Amino acid sequence: MIPAPPDSFLIRCPKLGHQIYFSYCEREGGSFPCPKALDCWHGIFSVEEYFRERYEQEVFEGIFFAKPKPKLLTLVELIEKAKERIKK
């Protein structure tokens, strides 16, 4: 099995704009990795092989090759969540 980089190794996250560990990328989506992890870590270690060893093909493709939601839809969802929090 391909080992993950140690938590002493940091890279800059283009989403967050600061340094992060691979362990964050592994669980950025809750129980799934960040969909950008393959792009960010490919020059550091065999990240694609690492995740292919850990996820079935269908799950792997769903994480890394699914089309993202349109930005407008994401924005509307965030507004709705904020409205719900304000009501509570």
Which residue ranges make up each domain of the chain?
Answer: 10-87
CA dihedral 64, 65, 71, 75 (to 10 degrees): -50
CA distance 88 to 84: 7
Q: Which of 17-21, 56-60, 66-70 has the lowest mean pLDDT?
A: 66-70
Q: Are 37 and 29 in contact (CB under 8 A)?
A: no
Per-residue model confidence as pLDDT tens digits over 48-66: 999 999 999 999 999 999 8
